[in-house]
Structure formats: C-alpha cells, structure tokens
C-alpha cells in the first residue's frame, strides 16, 4: 500500500469514527411491544435506561399529618387554597412542600421571617397558584394521570425551578439572516433532537388548540391540505414526545399508519389527554404567572417558562416510573378555587 493510500484509509477511518461518535454504543435492547410482524419495537440503550432509573427514584415518604383537630382556615389568617385541611395536615403539607421545592432554602423561600400570613414574597404567590395547578391535575385530568397523580416533586425534584421547563429557543434559532428568514427552523436545534425542524413546538401546539393532525383521510386531497411546514411542526412535537418519555414513536403509533387510532396502542389516547392537559396548565397557570415572575426567571426572549411533557416525565414513560405520588396528600386532591379549569377537561376520547 502506498503512503497516500494508507493515509487516505486512515483519514476515512477517522472520519467514520467521528461520524459514529454521535451514535450510541451497542448492544441495544429490543423489546417487541406490538403484534408479531408489525415491527412495533422499543429499542433502548441499557446504559441510558440504568442512569434514568437512578435519576427517577421517588422521594422519601413523609407523614401527611392527622385529619383530626381544628381546620386550618379557622386558626390561620390567610389560607385561600389549603383551608379545609386540619391544622396538623396543613403543617405537614408545608413541611412536604419545603422538602419537594426548596429543601436547601427552607420555609423562608416563600415566607417573610416571622409573618407566615404575609404574601409579599413572589414565590408564595406562585406557590399558591402551583397548589391549585396540582389540585387541578389530580382532580380533573385522571384520564391522563390516573390515580398515580402528581405532587410538586413530580416536576420540581427538590429544585425551586424545575429543571425541565420549556423556554423559547434562543433568538439565534428564530432570527432571519442575510440568507433568508429561517422561520423558526432550518438550524440544527437541540430542542428538537438536533433536527432542523421548527424549534418551538411547545409554544405552537401546547399553549393553544393548534391542529396537530396533518395526514389525509381520503385517497384524493379534498378541502384543507396541510402544508409541509405544518407537517414538520407536527414531527417536531413528536420528537419532543419521544424524548420527553424516553420512548420510540412505536410507543404510540403503528408506523404503517401514524394517523389511525384503531391501530395505535392505548398510550396514544393517554397522550391525547396529556396534550389537552398541558394546554390547560399553560393557559390557566404558567402563562398568567409570567406577570408575577421577576425578570431573572424569564426565558432568553423574555418569555414565561412553560410546562411541556418533559417537565413531569423527565425521560420516563411514566413520571418517576409510575410511583403513586398524590394519594397520601388530601390537600393536593381536590380543586379549591379555579372555576375555569373544570370546564377545560374533555369527557370524550379522540376519534
């Protein structure tokens, strides 16, 4: 072999190694999750699964307090959402909230020292709305969260701001430049798995009832035909679903017909309720809270942090791998006061 050939063999080997560096190291686990012959499989990297399992351990169980004794609202001064708890349950709920949201900062993360009734710290105002949001999820969105339910820990995991809130991508991904207007896409964006798909599917689809379905339902196009850009938007959202839950597309679809509900696993119906739930959480809670948050809590474009699928799921098909979070916390079960929320929950399944 001449020197030149040898060098070029070496270079191409190095180039192949560099290209493959983005891939995950085999062997992979493949599990059949659909009927034989439908190629519905879940492919997992066992090393990533082990790390995710370690990161999704539920918190230590805490004492929820005795239901006996006087009610919090009869003893305390300024309780608007947890007033029906007994005083013991109320105190236990405060201790739990502190462990779930601000374990290092303690009670005074939300309270003025010496005056628990004072509402002048913004975090207390946010926390009250968050209590209502959690009650809303557990009471009105059982079609998604079942009896597993959620607590503050599901999203917060011991952090005052959840690690997986959604901010609009940095302006670089959205801007136009001298080559033309990127229209919010056409630049490998981490928010959509480094594809050049539209970079902000959460604002587009999960803060308003935007149409996600793009496939035709008749052999020939009739009436409305979805644009290529709308189709790419749907795929961007689907990339978020898959990464948020740590699953392949086959967890919710038979890829021979993405649109067909008959051929989809039941998880897709759960996901459909999840889409409506997340829209409700953003329009009813996080977006209105944008007015209360200080500037350092807003995103790079001055936008409000949003709830996305990843905020609860954090890479697991069920948050904390299905640990029942809400059952022992009566304060987080029923809605105290949010009139609009009950109307938002749909009764029917998708057609």
Interacting positions 20-79 with ligand HEC (CB under 6 A): 76-79
Measured CA to CA, the distance from residue 163 to residue 25 in angstroms comes to 27
Nearer CB in complex with ligand HEC: 108/186: 108
Range 250-289, binding ligand HEC (CB under 6 A): 251-253, 258-259, 267-268, 270-272, 274-275, 278, 281, 286, 289
Least Å from the CB of residue 314 to ligand HEC: 10
Nearer CB in complex with ligand HEC: 145/335: 145
Evaluate whether 110 touches 124 at the Cβ level (below 8 Å).
yes
Nearer CB in complex with ligand HEC: 138/184: 138
Measured CA to CA, the distance from residue 317 to residue 321 in angstroms comes to 7
**How many residues bind to ligand HEC according to rule CB under 6 A?**
85
Least Å from the CB of residue 237 to ligand HEC: 8
Least Å from the CB of residue 349 to ligand HEC: 11
Least Å from the CB of residue 129 to ligand HEC: 8
Evaluate whether 239 touches 197 at the Cβ level (below 8 Å).
yes
Range 76-105, binding ligand HEC (CB under 6 A): 76-83, 94-95, 97-98, 101-102
Least Å from the CB of residue 15 to ligand HEC: 28
Measured CA to CA, the distance from residue 236 to residue 174 in angstroms comes to 15
With b for 16 or more beta-carbon neighbours within 10 A and e for fewer, the 45-66 pattern comes to eeeeeeebeeebeebeeeebbe
- What contacts 318, CB < 8 A, 6 or more positions away? 148
Least Å from the CB of residue 1 to ligand HEC: 44
| Residue from the set 117, 340, 342, 349 that interacts with ligand HEC by CB under 6 A | 117
Site string for ligand HEC, 285-324 (x = CB under 6 A): -x--x---x---x------xx-x-x-xxx---xxx--x--
Alpha carbon 108 to chain centroid distance? Answer: 28
| 203 counts as binding ligand HEC under rule CB under 6 A | no
334: closest CA among 90, 190, 141?
141
The label of the residue with tokens 């599917």 reads: 201
Nearer CB in complex with ligand HEC: 8/337: 337
Nearer CB in complex with ligand HEC: 3/108: 108
60: closest CA among 104, 99, 95?
99
Measured CA to CA, the distance from residue 40 to residue 119 in angstroms comes to 53
Nearer CB in complex with ligand HEC: 11/340: 340
Q: How many CB atoms lie within 10 A of CB 198?
A: 28
Evaluate whether 286 touches 304 at the Cβ level (below 8 Å).
yes
- What contacts 265, CB < 8 A, 6 or more positions away? 33, 34, 40, 251, 252, 253, 254
Least Å from the CB of residue 54 to ligand HEC: 19
| Residue from the set 34, 64, 65, 162 that interacts with ligand HEC by CB under 6 A | 162
């Amino acid at each position: 072999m001449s020197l030149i050939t040898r060098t070029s063999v070496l270079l191409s080997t190095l180039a192949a190694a560099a290209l493959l560096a983005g891939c995950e190291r085999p062997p992979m686990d493949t599990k059949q999750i659909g009927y034989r012959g439908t190629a519905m499989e879940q492919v997992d990297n066992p090393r990533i699964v082990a790390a995710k399992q370690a990161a999704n351990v539920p918190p230590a169980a805490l004492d929820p307090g005795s239901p006996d004794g006087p009610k919090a609202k009869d003893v305390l001064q300024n309780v608007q959402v947890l007033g029906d708890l007994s005083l013991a349950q109320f105190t236990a709920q405060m201790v739990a909230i502190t462990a779930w949201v601000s374990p290092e900062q303690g009670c005074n993360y939300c309270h003025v020292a010496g005056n628990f009734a004072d509402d002048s710290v913004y975090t207390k105002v946010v926390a009250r709305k968050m209590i209502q949001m959690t009650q809303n999820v557990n009471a009105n969105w059982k079609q998604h969260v079942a009896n597993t339910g959620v607590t503050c820990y599901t999203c917060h995991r011991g952090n005052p701001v959840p690690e997986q809130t959604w901010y609009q991508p940095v302006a670089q991904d959205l801007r136009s430049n001298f080559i033309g207007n990127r229209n919010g896409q056409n630049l490998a964006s981490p928010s959509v798995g480094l594809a050049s798909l539209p970079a902000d599917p959460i604002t587009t689809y999960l803060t308003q009832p935007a149409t996600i379905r793009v496939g035709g339902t008749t052999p020939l196009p009739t009436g409305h035909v979805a644009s290529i850009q709308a189709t790419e938007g749907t795929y961007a959202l689907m990339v978020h679903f898959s990464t948020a839950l740590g699953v392949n597309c086959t967890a919710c679809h038979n890829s021979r017909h993405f649109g067909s509900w008959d051929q989809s696993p039941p998880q897709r119906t759960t996901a459909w309720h999840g889409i409506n739930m997340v829209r409700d959480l953003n329009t009813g809670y996080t977006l209105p809270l944008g007015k209360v948050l200080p500037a350092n809590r807003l995103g790079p474009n001055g936008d409000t942090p949003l709830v996305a699928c990843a905020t609860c799921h954090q890479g697991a098909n069920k948050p904390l791998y299905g640990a029942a979070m809400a059952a022992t916390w009566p304060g987080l079960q029923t809605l105290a006061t949010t009139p609009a929320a009950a109307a938002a929950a749909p009764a029917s399944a998708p057609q």
